[in-house]
Chain A
Amino acid sequence: MINALQNTKLLSTTICVFLVFQMLWAKPDAFKDSNPCIHSYHLEDFFDFCDTCGCGSSGGSMGYGTGLNNYFIGVRYIGQQYRSRDGIFNDSPWITENFNTMQVWGNVPITKRAILNVIVPYQQHNRVLPDQTEQKINGLGDISVLAFYDLLKRTPDSIISITPEHYFQIGAGVKAPTGKYDRANNTGSVNPSFQVGNGSWDYIAAMNYGFTYRNWGISTLLNYTFKTENPKQYQFGNQLNYGINAFKTYYISDLALTPILGIAGEHFEANKEYGAAVPNTKGSVFLGKVSLEASYNRIALGLAGMVPISQQLNNNKVELKHRLSVYVNINL
């Protein structure tokens, strides 16, 4: 009964959040276009370019969840550093770009087996151009909403179980073009991903599988984002993310410490403009991950670092340096 009450509360919060989004999208002067989807809900005249890094803010291979707890709400910070060539030559100067994403995220139970996953990102990016001018952009990023269904569910307190406890979730959802594209960011030929949103409605299919045995565990994730053409007839390439993590939980009185080791990968198809593939836009990156989660009662604090093991992004014109993530969650 208490659980049900709690769920209702959370749900109403979620509804509120959605209503706010709806209001944000419904910018009056955007209604002049006939296409109800793409044109009506945009904040600004944003278009193209956001292939690999900046706006892939939702989950990517960092995951839509923590892989440890099924239900939570919290905040997560993701810091990414890239460098990209400012120019078309082999020796064109590198520019360092910092992509900072602050997310409100949650995995909220809807029914006994259905989970609503929401990620609302706020982006703050900066880079220093070769002439030493600094460019900063910030704003609401692209919001994603997914529904997961537990095909296989762990029983609570599985730690005392003597047989492996498996879980298996499948999910689907959308990524809305709530992030804004600013044309001015695209002067010059530096990394075109320096944007807070990619301008399109994208569709996500996801699945998570894992098991725990005593205090050991494995978690895996696989998700695919189908990206659509945005109002400026630019279409970002579809994206495949995967990851596998191994962890062990140590208990020190009320504190649970979980070190996690993992690998993850991201694969991007070529972007398209006016239906034709754009050169130097596909790529992939394979990463190693080290992470630690500490939880006390219902509070979980997580730290994760990711470094590329191998990569080939934008024909090597863009390089991922590292990713860092910190989150504080309240487990439900």
Chain B
Amino acid sequence: MKLNLISTAILFSLIMVGCSSNDTTTDQLTGSGSISIKYDNGYNGNDLIIGAANSANSNGENLTITRLSYIVSNFRLVNSTGEEYVFPKDESYFVISQEADLDNVVLPEIPAGEYTTLKFGVGVDQEKYLQGAEGQGDFLALAESHHMMWSWQAGYKFLNFEGSFTSEIVTDDTEFKIHMGSHGSSLDNYKEVTLALQTNVRVSDEMDSSIHLKIDAAKILVSSNNIQLTEKSVIMVDEVKSPQIAVNVTEMFEVDHIHNGDGHN
């Protein structure tokens, strides 16, 4: 019996060996890595599916969405010490398009560190627009091919939201079109979004990470401002409703989760 006890003791010490030093390595994040931002489009908590009917919103309107595209730009990341990293402006314009499966923004060569806040713009800012057609680089063609331009003079559509709807009053399936943008330089609807990350996003030579955003497209109509399609179903150049929609759009983004390391989508 004594022998057994001793053997057991030896066995346990074998297992436990080395496990005592559970040092929490405050690892240095060095170099740079990429951060990708996934724009996962949804509608009122459900997945947004092109051509599928959605549940009624609080205005009693049932929307079937055939297009949801928007421009995101001017990406910035604030690190844990409060410093802001500005992603190179010329490469900082992207189209998110449900129909074209464009839902991922990849920002390469972000300096290593821990970031607490993501900032970006919706649309194209005046500074960029005033650089003229040549100053837009490849982005002009990209925006055009995804129906995000009126004309060069009229400018970019920041949001292109289309489909059909019914409501208590409008019982026949009726087309809706919401094209929101800056209309040249007379009406500036470019807006910025600041999202605090519930988990810091980390990036380094060894670590590419991703931020998974959950988008609620229902907020385009119903958020700080209440837009009734029943009242007006085609909103393009509207000095009252366009700015209201621009504000609503900034409220549709929410951080769902962060994936640190080995960025998944």
Residue ranges of A at the interface with B (Cβ–Cβ < 8 Å): 4, 7-8, 11, 14-15, 18, 22, 35-38, 40-41, 47, 87-92, 110-112, 114, 116, 145, 147, 174, 176, 183, 186-189, 201, 228-229, 232-233, 273-280
Contact = CB atoms under 8 A, between A and B. Distances in A.
A187 B263 CA distance: 9
Contacts of B202: 274
Contact of A111 (B5, B14, B17, B24): B5
B171 interface: no
25 contacts: A14-B11, A18-B15, A36-B18, A37-B20, A37-B21, A38-B22, A87-B40, A87-B47, A88-B40, A88-B42, A88-B214, A90-B45, A90-B46, A91-B45, A91-B46, A92-B47, A110-B5, A111-B4, A145-B12, A147-B12, A188-B264, A188-B265, A229-B24, A273-B199, A274-B202
A246 to B, nearest CB: 33
A40 B18 contact: yes
B260 A273 contact: yes
A280 B47 contact: no
Contacts of A145: 12, 15
Report which residue of A37, A89, A229 has the largest number of chain B beta carbons within 10 angstroms of its beta carbon: A89
Contacts of A280: 257
Contacts of A176: 15
Interface in B1-54: 1, 3-5, 7-8, 11-12, 14-25, 27, 40, 42, 45-47
A258 B40 CA distance: 53
A275 B26 CA distance: 10
Contacts of B45: 89-91
Nearest to A200: B22
B12 A279 contact: no
Contacts of B264: 186-189
B262 interface: yes
B214 A15 contact: no
Interface string B53-92: 0000000000000000000000000000000000000000
Nearest to B19: A37
A22 to B, nearest CB: 7
Contact of A276 (B12, B199, B212): B199
Q: Give the contact-size bracket for chain B.
A: 35 or more
A148 to B, nearest CB: 12
A77 to B, nearest CB: 26
A18 B22 contact: no
B18 A11 contact: no
A145 B8 CA distance: 11
Given A88-B256, A91-B47, A278 B199 contact: yes
A4 B1 contact: yes
A18 B46 contact: no
A232 to B, nearest CB: 7
A232 B261 CA distance: 9
B198 interface: yes
A174 B8 contact: no
A222 to B, nearest CB: 22
A15 B11 contact: yes
Nearest to B212: A88
B205 to A, nearest CB: 16
Nearest to A87: B47
Given A15-B7, A147-B8, A174-B16, A89 B47 contact: yes
B126 interface: no
Given A14-B11, A174-B16, A189 B212 contact: yes
A229 B22 contact: yes
Contacts of A233: 27
Contacts of B15: 18, 145, 174, 176
Contacts of A188: 264-265
A120 to B, nearest CB: 13
A91 B48 CA distance: 10
Given A47-B261, A187-B264, A275-B24, 9 more contacts: A18-B15, A36-B17, A37-B18, A91-B46, A91-B47, A111-B1, A273-B260, A279-B199, A280-B257
